[in-house]
Amino acid sequence: MNHYPHPILAREGWPFIGLAVVLSLLATMLWGGVAAIPFYIVLVFVLQFFRDPPRPVPDQANAVLSPADGRIVKIEKVRDPYADRDALLISVFMNVFNVHSNRACVDGVVRAVQYFPGLFVNADLDKASSENERNAVVVDATVNGQQHVVTLVQVAGLIARRILCYVHPADVLAKGERYGFIRFGSRVDVYLPLSAIPKVAPGDKVSATTTVLATL
C-alpha cells in the first residue's frame, strides 16, 4: 500500500494547483490584476477541493467511521453484490466542496478489490450505485474477536472522471488511513453486516474518519 503523511493539500491535486498558479501569474503579468481575478477564483476553488487535512480517529473499538466527507443520502437493507451477502447500506454523497480523500472506516485486511467501468450519472441518484464507474474494496475486519465484512465502494459521479484506489488484496488497513481519492464530486457506499447499528440518518452531514456511521 502507498503510505504518506497528510500534506494538507492532496498530492492528486498538485498538478492542477500548479497549473492554476501558473495561469494566474501569467494572467496578472499579461492583463493586470483585475483581469486576472477569474483565474485566482479558479485557483481558490482548486485549493479548497484538494485540501486533505489530518483527522483524529475515535477510540471506540466497534465504530465504523465515515470513509468520506459529505451527506448521508441512503440507509437501507440491500444485497451487497461485491461480497455476495445481505447487508446494511449507508451511502455518503460528496459535492465539489467536500474533501475528496477517502479513508478506511475499519481496521482490517483487504480481501478483494474490484473495478467496474460504467456511466457518469449524478452520484446523488440511486442508480449510480449499480450503473456508474465504481471501485469496490472488500475488507475482513475483526472487532472484539468477531469477524465482520465491510465493503467500501467508490462511485464516480456526473463530474468525477477519475477514481483512485491505492490498496490491493492482503493489504492491512487501519481506521482513518487514506486509501483512495475521487476527483470532482462523487459518492462512497458502505456495506455493513445487517447487525450493524446506524448512528447517522439520511440528510446528516458527515466528516471522514471523525464521524461514526455505525457500530458493529
Q: Which residue has the cell 449510480?
A: 128
Q: Which residues of 120-136 are buried (b: 16+ CB within 10 A; e: fewer)?
A: beebbeeebbeebbbbb
Measure the CA–CA gap between 170 and 34, rounded to whole angstroms: 54
Measure the CA–CA gap between 87 and 191, rounded to whole angstroms: 6
Measure the CA–CA gap between 159 and 174, rounded to whole angstroms: 30
Is 129 catalytic? The answer is: no
Q: Which residue has the cell 484538494?
A: 50
- Selecting among 101, 186, 195, 207, the annotated active-site residue is 186
Q: Which of 153, 164, 23, 10 has the alpha carbon at shortest distance from 91?
A: 153
Length of the chain: 216
Catalytic residue numbers, as ranges: 186
